[in-house]
Each structure stands twice: as C-alpha cells, then as structure tokens.
Structure 1
Amino acid sequence: MRYLLALVLSSAGLLVAAPAAAACTSGPFTVDWPAQRMDERLQALAHTTGCFVRFDPARFGALPAPRLRGRLATQALLVHSVRGTGLEANRTRNAWHVDRAQQDRFGQRIASLSRTIDARHLPPHRAAMLHRDLRRVRQAIADEVRTQGFLSAAERAGHTRALDAAAARIAR
C-alpha cells in the first residue's frame, strides 16, 4: 500500500512540475489578449509559450502593449507585442530579450562620434554635415524598431557601415 501511495504521489509531482519545466515552443498559439501593460503581456506570453523572456519591468513595464488576436507563432507574438513601443524583441539561445539594447549600442557609438566631431574643431559646414548624418542614422534605427519591433541583421550591418563611413570622414 505504501508503495502504491508513493507511486501516486510521485506521479502527481511530475504532473505539477511539467508546466514549470516546459520548453519554449514555437506555436502557433491562438490568443485574444487585450491592450495591457507590457509587463502583463510578457508574463502572459511566457505562460502561453513556455519561453523565458528577459525584461526590465522597472524600465519598460508600464509601456502599453496593443491588443493581440489571432493564431500566431511565438516570434510573431513577441514582435507584435512590442511593435510601436520602441522596444526590440531579440532571441538568444536560451531566452527572448525585450529591451532597447541595440538602439543603446548604436546610440553610444553615435554619441562618441559626435564628441569626436566636436573635439576635432572641423570647419562648421563639415561638422554640421557629419552631425546631420549621425542624426539620420539614429532616426532610421528608431523608426525601424518602432515599425518592426526589431532590427534585422541587414539593417544593423547597414547602420554599422554608415557609422564606419562617418568615422572615416571625421578622421580625414
């Protein structure tokens, strides 16, 4: 009798533990989520898909996530959830990340190049042209993230080339 009871209890423990250890699945999932706070949305998404989502609720939790309805794969759920917010959805091997990391990296490089322009005491028209080019890159990145919810590899490469070209023009 004890053996049977132990077997039943251990089986019940496995059933309870199964959802907590669920692997990230790609879906598709049928959802009908209302417009809500971003922290609530990402929690619902993690619960539905079994995917771990890294996110800073103190910085971005209060941002609004739009209503989302339909049958979508995990990636589409994330991208549609962050689209229009200025946040990026990116996948690494172990988790999804929702943040502004790529925009921050490009922003740091743009700020550094801008300081270099000012420190070099370039002719005013040349400095103005270089600053304008840097603002265009920054604006393009912000627009792409807002529209898409991510930066593609091709877009990242293009912006890197544009900043490399600006750096070369500054050095001349």
Structure 2
Amino acid sequence: MAQALTDLSRQTGCLVQYDPQLVQSYRGRAVEGRLTTADALVQLVKGTGLEVHTDKDKFSVNQADQHAIGDKAATLQAQLGQAMQTKKLPQNKTTALHIELGAVRTSVVEFAKKQGFVSAAEKASYQRTFTKVEQLLASVK
C-alpha cells in the first residue's frame, strides 16, 4: 500500500499523507481509468479498512474517523454502564442504548472498509445517536 500511495502521489502531483506503519500490512487495489485524485485514492483503499480524507488539495489515508467515532461510542457505553450501576437509569433503557452504540462501533468500521471513507451522512447519524445518549446522561446527573 505504501508504494501504491507513493506512486499515486507521484503520478498526480498531489501529496498524500499516511503513516507507513499503518499502511504496511495492507495491499492496494488496482486503480483504473481517468479519475480525480480523491476517487483514485478511494478506489485504491476500498476494502482495506483505511479511510481517504480530502481537504481541498490535501489528501490523507488513515483510520481517524473509525477511531474517533469508536472511541466516543465506547466512552458513552462506559458512562451508561456507570449510570446503570448507580441506579440512575433503568436497565432496559441502558441496554438498548448500549446495543445502539455497539452498532455504531461496528458499522463505522464496516462503512470505512466497504467505501474507503465514512460519509458525512453517516457521521451525522452517529452524532445524533451520541447526542441522544449525552442528553439522557445529562438528565440524570
């Protein structure tokens, strides 16, 4: 993958930032056709679990969205568990939200692997789930 990212960067003239240690165990897919740099990167990493990030003419490949979303979901799961232990929340409500947050943690990894990125719509959906849980937790403090 590192060589493929370097080659793509050289061919397009666009810098692609990545951590060589992160990408070393992945193999890139073949990139064919006339594509934008962003589309070529997505095609290259699709199926690996790596994510393409673009910001104007800056490109990076990492797993930042998966880590951020997964960490947030895990933190909220822990807070729900604490609220349930202290009897601030009923077990059935806590369990349902815990399962919903677990689904977030699973789906973000699946989307990144399937698509090569996590879309803005998916991030917004995850944020709605986080907000719902945060509001509930705030109401019992």
Structure 2 CA distance for aligned equivalents of residues 58 and 97 of structure 1? 14
Structure 2 Cα separation of the partners of residues 85 and 51 of structure 1 = 22
2:109 equivalent among 142, 147, 152: 142
Report 1:26-105 matches (<5 A).
38-93=1-56, 95-105=58-68
How far residue 94 of structure 1 moved from its aligned partner, in angstroms, is 5.1
CA RMSD in angstroms, aligned pairs only:
1.6
Q: SS of 1:72's equivalent? A: coil
Give 1:103 shift: 1.1
Structure scoring higher RCO (CA < 8 A, sep ≥ 6) equals: 2
The code of the aligned residue for 1:79 comes to V
1:107-146 correspondence to structure 2 within 5 Å: 107-120=70-83, 121=85, 122-146=89-113
8 Å CA contact 1:39–1:62 kept in 2: the answer is no
- State the aligned residue count: 135
CA positional deviation for 1:74: 1.1
- Contact 2:31–2:43, Cα closer than 8 Å, also in 1: yes
Q: Highest Rg: 1 or 2? A: 1
| Higher deviation after alignment, 63-72 or 157-166 | 63-72
TM-score, normalised on structure 1? 0.72
